[in-house]
Structure 1
């Protein structure tokens, strides 16, 4: 069986997008991992599968490079909105609204969740100032924005060995569903620099949900004011949030090419 796919990226966070709204395409964990492999597959940070939805314009399923299916991906939402012009997109993390204005796409990511059991954590802790440390990373803030994040604010972003600390924190027993690890540096009254170790994908050039979670955590701590310009290795996202409201993420999405492949070649 041959299938068509779109290669897209949001600030360098890249995706293989398969539109299965007209024909069912079976994606297993092993198949997703094989497609995502950059040496023997098509190559991507996440595989995105589009399916029909009863509650929105379409359903978006997200598979990380390790094959695991996850709840949410902000950069992929912008890419799907750019590709399909969908205004309501169903994900495992909930239904989100999308608005396209020229080259900028805004996603309403919903309200952040701060309760320890909604992150989730293994046991009750203060999510605004988590009393745990991994080497120099301590006093993190835990936020769920459709998927779980912990954010550490540091004085020197480049001094953090995130490639070593990221997987340790991701798999720590404190996080029963694992966690995305964000390290942020405040660079202005409404500006952050950010690096992200993404759960199941590793270091990434950009993470939309990480930008949302980090901006929310910084606003919650009084470190910045909304809207926040979040600078990632792949580019910049604008995040707006007021306590009690929903998060609005704005940024670009890029369509790279269309291709075809044999499904059976990936297991």
Structure 2
């Protein structure tokens, strides 16, 4: 019998979510790529499997569109948090991920807030292949003659670099430099490449090239990384609205405990069943 799935998105960053707490779900990398394919498959940025956990309400396993498994995805965490709260009637849940335990709770006006924990700011936490000041890392950033300020580097359970621009991030730049830097030797686990324009201390325009997924309409961990990187360089406050192609997130880097709180909407698109060949 084919496996049911739920298609969800957070600001257009979309996911195929499969319940696997009672029946194991072990797709291969090829299976994940087939599901994520927007022409012949269901189409998504990430495939999510919800597994049983003895430390949390569920364990969230994440596969990128290229079939690779990753530890963190902020928008998916909000979607899974909403799903678990709807099913249980709880106002807050705990989600186990490869990056640790994340706490999700209902926010204002139907939003979901996730405590993403403390950002990783040491070069070994990103990780980088050599010791550098993560506020401003020196990395080849484009064709000869192109000048960009050195990006900041932040781990939000996954590696990010963020370039700061004096103008709206252009799609051609995001695609061109993002794809070039994703697998740069400085990043042994590859990297998400973000481009930010700080419009005001409490407002950041942001676009991102996600490792393993390409250019997406939104990236929750990327939005968190953008706020942290901007605040570290004195470009923004510790709380701001991060505006992406798919919509807005409120990100706060709390001084009290150093945790990053991400708040935003979720959406259910449709339900369906996986093809028989990849239902196991």
State TM-score, norm by structure 2. Answer: 0.92
Tell me which residue corresponds to 2:113.
106
Structure 2 runs not aligned, ≥5 long: 86-91
Aligned length: 267
Of 247, 252, 257, 2:270 maps to 257
- Conserved? CA contact 1:35–1:266, under 8 Å: no
For 1:98 and 1:216, locate their aligned partners in 2 and report how far apart those are by CA, in whole Å: 20
For 2:275 and 2:138, locate their aligned partners in 1 and report how far apart those are by CA, in whole Å: 49
Aligned: 1:197 with 2:204: no
Cα distance, 1:137 vs structure 2:
3.3
Cα distance, 1:51 vs structure 2:
0.2
Aligned: 1:142 with 2:153: yes
Aligned: 1:84 with 2:96: no
Cα distance, 1:226 vs structure 2:
2.5
Aligned: 1:72 with 2:72: yes
For 1:260 and 1:203, locate their aligned partners in 2 and report how far apart those are by CA, in whole Å: 27
Q: Which is worse superposed, 201-210 or 25-34?
A: 25-34
The 5-angstrom pairing of residues 10-21 of structure 1 reads 10-21=10-21
For 1:40 and 1:248, locate their aligned partners in 2 and report how far apart those are by CA, in whole Å: 36
Of 71, 74, 93, 2:99 maps to 93
- Conserved? CA contact 1:41–1:266, under 8 Å: no
Q: Which is worse superposed, 133-142 or 200-209?
A: 133-142
Q: Which is worse superposed, 155-164 or 183-192?
A: 155-164
Cα distance, 1:90 vs structure 2:
0.4
For 2:99 and 2:179, locate their aligned partners in 1 and report how far apart those are by CA, in whole Å: 23
Cα distance, 1:145 vs structure 2:
0.6
Tell me which residue corresponds to 2:261.
248
Tell me which residue corresponds to 1:238.
250
Aligned: 1:152 with 2:163: yes
- Conserved? CA contact 1:31–1:266, under 8 Å: no
Tell me which residue corresponds to 1:177.
189
For 2:167 and 2:244, locate their aligned partners in 1 and report how far apart those are by CA, in whole Å: 14
State TM-score, norm by structure 1. Answer: 0.96
Cα distance, 1:242 vs structure 2:
3.2
- Conserved? CA contact 2:27–2:278, under 8 Å: no
For 1:261 and 1:169, locate their aligned partners in 2 and report how far apart those are by CA, in whole Å: 34
Cα distance, 1:71 vs structure 2:
0.8
Aligned: 1:124 with 2:137: no
Moved over 2 A (4+): 135-138, 157-160
SS of the equivalent of 1:99 reads strand
Structure 1 runs not aligned, ≥5 long: none
SS of the equivalent of 2:119 reads coil
For 1:189 and 1:125, locate their aligned partners in 2 and report how far apart those are by CA, in whole Å: 26
For 1:51 and 1:137, locate their aligned partners in 2 and report how far apart those are by CA, in whole Å: 42
For 1:94 and 1:250, locate their aligned partners in 2 and report how far apart those are by CA, in whole Å: 19
Tell me which residue corresponds to 2:34.
34
- Conserved? CA contact 1:36–1:47, under 8 Å: yes
Root mean square deviation, CA, Å: 1.5
Cα distance, 1:265 vs structure 2:
5.2
The 5-angstrom pairing of residues 38-53 of structure 1 reads 38-53=38-53
